[in-house]
């Protein structure tokens, strides 16, 4: 690449510096005060106030009948919990599933999948089998409450989809569960 001789390069830099200096901000010019004999200005009227209309706060979105949110709202939860290494439904789990059954009877076109889950302890195969027993335990309870079994399906995720991360009893207790998931309306 050819280089410019030293003198023209210096001249070019000096010209650039001068051009930048010419573009620098100039101090503001002070405005003169109008003479006392100047014609008085007419008073300026205050502008008319802009009317303020109050809008109502946006309403909470309505629950769609037969949706997952509707199930949670009406039944209080879409999840039942299990004791360690168990698929027996507690009294609390049966009460939640009874509300699921009532909701399903009010929404006859809804189909659900009952998901069985486990905590992280145990082998993958053992937890898949235990998750399957938990999902089927919930399904059998719903069927005993009059829900058509054709509307119920089950799946086990074992320990693959924890609800809560953690390796302590509090996390494990929330991961031992069956979830009623709305699959179609």
153 pairs with which residues across the strands?
Answer: 113
Label residue 49 by pLDDT band (50, 70, 90).
low
Sign of the torsion formed by the C-alpha atoms of 154, 71, 84 and 168: positive
pLDDT, tens digit, 9 for 90 and up, residues 134-155: 999 999 999 999 999 999 999 9
CB 166 within 8 A of CB 125: no
Buried (b) or exposed (e) across 20-56, using 16+ Cβ within 10 A? Answer: eeeeeeeeeeeeeeeeeeeeeeeeeeeeeeeeeeeee
> DSSP alpha helices (H): ranges in the chain?
6-22, 68-75, 91-106, 124-144, 169-175
**What percent of the chain clears pLDDT 70, i.e. is strictly above it?**
67
Q: What pLDDT is attached to residue 63?
A: 85
Q: What is the pTM of this model?
A: 0.67
Residue 4 has pLDDT above 80, yes or no: no
Q: What pLDDT is attached to residue 183?
A: 96
90 closest CA partner among 99, 102, 81: 81
CB 151 within 8 A of CB 119: no
Q: Which domains does the chain have, with CATH numbers?
A: 68-184 (3.30.1330.60)
Diameter over CA atoms, the chain:
101
Q: What pLDDT is attached to residue 185?
A: 80
**What percent of the chain clears pLDDT 90, i.e. is strictly above it?**
65
Q: What pLDDT is attached to residue 62?
A: 81
């Amino acid at each position: 690449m050819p280089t410019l001789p030293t003198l023209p390069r210096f001249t070019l830099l000096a010209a650039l510096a001068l051009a930048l200096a010419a573009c620098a901000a100039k101090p503001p010019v002070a405005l003169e005060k109008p003479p006392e004999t100047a014609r008085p200005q007419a008073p300026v009227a205050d502008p008319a106030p802009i009317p303020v209309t109050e809008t109502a706060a946006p309403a909470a979105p309505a629950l769609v009948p037969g949706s997952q949110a509707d199930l949670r709202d009406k039944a209080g939860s879409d999840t039942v919990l299990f004791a360690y290494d168990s698929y027996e439904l507690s009294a609390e789990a049966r009460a939640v599933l009874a509300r699921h059954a009532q909701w399903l009877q009010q929404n006859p076109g809804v189909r659900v999948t009952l998901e069985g889950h486990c905590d992280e302890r145990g082998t993958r195969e053992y937890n898949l089998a235990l998750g399957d027993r938990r999902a089927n335990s919930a399904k059998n309870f719903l069927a005993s409450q009059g829900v058509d079994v054709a509307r119920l399906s089950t799946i086990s995720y074992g320990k693959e989809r924890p609800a809560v991360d953690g390796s302590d009893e509090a996390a494990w207790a929330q991961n031992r569960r069956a979830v009623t998931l709305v699959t179609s309306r």
